[in-house]
Copies of this chain bind each other. A is one copy, B any other.
Amino acid sequence: MPKYEEIANIIRQRIKQGRYPANTLLPNQTDLVQEFDASRMTIKKAITILTMEGLVLSRRGAGTKVLDHSFWNKSTAPADQYRGMSRDLADIGKTLSSKIITFEVTFPTPEIKERLMLADQQPVYKIIRLRIIDGVNSVLEHTYMPVSLVPGLTDDVLAQSIYTYLKENLHLTFAGAFRNIQADKADEYDQQYLDCAPTDPVLEVEQVVYLDNGQPIEYSRSRNRYDRRGYTFLDVKNT
């Protein structure tokens, strides 16, 4: 782990423990340079990480202020494809279980082939999972993954966390994801599995997840019961 990440972790911990209280200033960067025996560029990089997380805010000439983020900390956990839904939910004390509706190998439609950047004739997994949060049917996930990239996928893996398997067993790392969020009417599938009325809205999160070599590994549509899941995130400017 790079030095700037370690430093960021230490400072983050101090903020959460209250050693650096909200609405006070962090020690200035030259002091941090001394404490951590690092160059100022490295300290700056650590602070940039915390800035991106919404924990602090730096202003030229005025220091780096610890922000009070308690108000949005209470609400929904931010969705994060790199950790998997189960860990996100565990953070806020909720439990997740899964029910496999469909698990098969098929050939992709032209649309899915394009999104996964596949050559002809490459098979994909088609997976439909019902995600049950605290005992309530909440999300219906339609997922497509190239078979060639994900060997050895089994029911057991699907019942737990796919992403844990990708990371820990296949040692894959991710570059990022492209997402589109929209509202939709509940279709018959949603009504059947999410226990919702024909007039209930659904929040659909469509995403393509990329490996660190640029190859898409997943195309999915997650249909969320409107009263069970929202999508929460921070959009920080610049660096």
Contacts and interface: CB of A to CB of B under 8 A. Distances in A.
A114 interface: yes
B115 A175 contact: no
B176 A235 contact: yes
Nearest to A181: B231
A185 B203 contact: no
B71 A237 contact: no
A71 B115 contact: yes
A179 interface: yes
A182 B199 contact: no
A166 B175 CA distance: 35
Contact of A203 (B41, B75, B81, B181): B181
Interface in A38-77: 41, 45, 48-49, 54, 57, 59, 62, 65, 67, 71-72, 75-76
Contacts of A230: 180-182
A34 interface: no
Task: Across the A-B interface, give the 10 residue pairs with the lowest CB-CB distance, nearest first.
Answer: A201-B201, A182-B230, A176-B236, A183-B226, A183-B203, A183-B183, A183-B201, A199-B199, A181-B231, A180-B232
24 contacts: A41-B41, A48-B239, A54-B178, A65-B214, A72-B178, A82-B237, A175-B236, A175-B237, A176-B235, A176-B236, A178-B234, A179-B232, A181-B232, A182-B226, A182-B229, A183-B201, A183-B202, A183-B203, A183-B224, A183-B226, A184-B201, A198-B199, A201-B201, A203-B203
